[in-house]
Chain A
Amino acid sequence: RKEVEQDPGPFNVPEGATVAFNCTYSNSASQSFFWYRQDCRKEPKLLMSVYSSGNEDGRFTAQLNRASQYISLLIRDSKLSDSATYLCVVKRGPEGSYIPTFGRGTSLIVHP
């Protein structure tokens, strides 16, 4: 089983739709969780951190479920500019170190 698993998609949605992605992780000792966005042929950029209490940034909401070992990303009112690949990132390694471990990404295509 891979450490971080995501459905590669693509998720093909119309503008204005709400879409959600999940990501599961295998290491129960994982400490930190993030969503990154990657545009075609570009480097990944941090979208948001994921906290146990859940967090929201405008149209984006991230949730962490430690019991079931998954994190989620909800995008409301999708825009054409949201089209990208969304990477789930989990911290692994002993305390004091941080080794970002990536899922393969979920592709989102928002169409008019």
Chain B
Amino acid sequence: DGGITQSPKYLFRKEGQNVTLSCEQNLNHDAMYWYRQDPGQGLRLIYYSQIVNDFQKGDIAEGYSVSREKKESFPLTVTSAQKNPTAFYLCASSHGTLAFFGQGTRLTVV
């Protein structure tokens, strides 16, 4: 089945630790995106990539890093510099104008 897979679904992190969220797609989409959603809030753009080996900062990139070494994969690292990392993280990909989402990773800092 074609789609976007995010893992893990739930993730717990201790303060001061880096953690990497996985996003894989087999839709052959060029563009991929990472968003963060806080309770009662909309989606805010963290990073995006229009093509392999290239990515751009979104609106809230501080404390995050990404890589795009393969078309299928766009992992997001939440670093210890991110002051308030507890949130719902959504990865999306698009071809043309339609965007499709993975099921999300719920990150909690303990």
On B, residues with C-beta under 8 Å from A are 31, 33, 35, 40-45, 48, 50, 58, 88, 90, 92, 94, 96-104, 106
Contact = CB atoms under 8 A, between A and B. Distances in A.
Interface size class of A (residues with CB under 8 A): 20 to 34
Contacts of B48: 99
A1 B40 CA distance: 19
Nearest to A3: B59
B101 A105 contact: no
Contacts of A49: 97-98
A102 B103 contact: no
Contact of B97 (A42, A44, A91, A104): A91
Given A8-B40, A87-B43, A104-B41, A98 B103 contact: no
Nearest to A96: B50
Nearest to B88: A41
A43 B94 contact: no
B108 to A, nearest CB: 13
A42 B103 contact: yes
Contacts of A46: 98-100
| Top 4 A-B pairs, shortest CB-CB distance | A104-B42, A43-B101, A102-B43, A32-B97
A42 B104 contact: yes
16 contacts: A8-B40, A31-B97, A34-B97, A34-B98, A41-B88, A41-B106, A43-B101, A43-B103, A43-B104, A44-B101, A87-B42, A97-B50, A98-B99, A103-B42, A104-B41, A104-B42
Contacts of B50: 97
A66 to B, nearest CB: 16
Contacts of A97: 31, 50
A37 to B, nearest CB: 11
